[in-house]
Amino acid sequence: MMPTLIMNWPAGEQLVHFDKNETLLSAALKAGIPVENSCQRGDCQRCIGVVRQGSARISGSDETIGPGGSLLLCQVKSSSDIEIELAHDPNEILPPPKLYQAKIIGLERLASDVIRLEMVTPKRQYLDYIGGQYIDLIRHGIIRYHGYVDDMPALLRSVDAVVLPSSYPEGIPKIFLEAAACGLPIISTDFPGARRVIEDGVTGVIIKSPTVDYIETAILALYNQPDRGRQMGEKALVLTSGSVLGD
């Protein structure tokens, strides 16, 4: 018989049967519980919970976490019944699902975990949305909407690049400094502030305009050459620790 996971949060409780070979995060997401998560590899600390009853084993080790211990749901499995308490109500983190009429006019798999979806909606359809949230609800884990983030270093440690396709002239966006200080390459449009941080092809990529094609090409170029992205990130890190930006 499959073990049972009981997820508790301030405004609710849900019971899930799971396979002992899957992580508790995977079991929760499969059951439709939108547990906050991002990296799914133990870096971002978004999927934290506390064991109320039972125990869980950290994947790839013999270490177990029992009642009162906190754990990252993406990093643990369990072979017996377990009860976990989440600090936040998952239904408050992501808005409840809504159905919209739409016609899909293009669906392309750009990489193993990246899809591009094009759709049109009726002319008067009012779409008030934050990029990613609807697709996230349908295809858990492919696009993740983070909501408010107060631990930027943890978030930035979980990504490979930062993309800011701004469409107007800006100063130096703070996210550029945060990204460079975390050793990440930056992809951005060409505006004065971008030129102060990004040396095209050295610490990041400057694209001509914020269109899907330019953004896609730049992201895929780094995705397909991870070493190049890492080298750019290292150079960006040197930039923030030197005097270049302080001049």
Task: List residues binding ligand FES (CB under 6 A).
Answer: 37-40, 42-47, 72, 74
Cβ closer to ligand FES: 43 or 190? 43
Cβ closer to ligand FES: 25 or 215? 25
Helices (H), 140-225: 152-157, 174-181, 192-197, 212-224
Q: How far is CA 88 from the centre of its chain?
A: 18
Cβ closer to ligand FES: 146 or 235? 146
Contact 26, 47 (CB under 8 A): no
Contact 40, 141 (CB under 8 A): yes
CB of 169 to ligand FES, least distance (A): 35
User: Three-state DSSP class for 40?
Assistant: coil
Cβ closer to ligand FES: 73 or 205? 73
CB of 86 to ligand FES, least distance (A): 12
How far is Cα 38 from Cα 86, in angstroms, rounded to an integer? 16
CB of 84 to ligand FES, least distance (A): 13
CB of 31 to ligand FES, least distance (A): 16
CB of 170 to ligand FES, least distance (A): 30
Cβ closer to ligand FES: 74 or 215? 74
Contact 66, 55 (CB under 8 A): yes
3-state secondary structure 168-192: CCCCCCHHHHHHHHCCCCEEEECCH
